[in-house]
Amino acid sequence: IPKGGNRLKIILRNAANVIGGLKDTHLSNFFRRILNKSDRATAISATARKLGVIIYNMITKKEPYKPPTDYLFLDEKRKQGLVKQIRKHIHKFDLTPEDLGLKST
């Protein structure tokens, strides 16, 4: 968002500040993730930019906004990565459930 007295910038920043106070929405979760990494002004700017991009895409593509519902938190991403890595090793070494000490049913 450029510096200056841009009206759109002020509106987006005010909306982002309000979004920061909401409880459980996609954008409020984004706001809190940024807020954990840095200060409130940065979180407001990042959320305002994201909101601006969403609005721009809605106008240009003429589609309603569909917030992502299948967002994975960092611990879930790590778990999926570990499972993928373990499966790759099992396939690489041609292991069977019996080799791993698992009973086949």
Take residue 41 and report the two structure tokens written for it: 């002004």
pTM of this structure = 0.62
State residue 54's pLDDT score.
93
End-to-end CA distance of the chain: 59
pLDDT tens digits for range 1-60: 566 678 888 999 999 999 999 888 888 888 998 999 999 999 999 999 999 999 999 999
**CA–CA distance, 70 with 44 (Å, rounded to integer):** 24
pLDDT tens digits for range 47-62: 999 999 999 999 999 9
**CA–CA distance, 63 with 102 (Å, rounded to integer):** 49
CA atoms within 13 A on the CB side of 27: 24
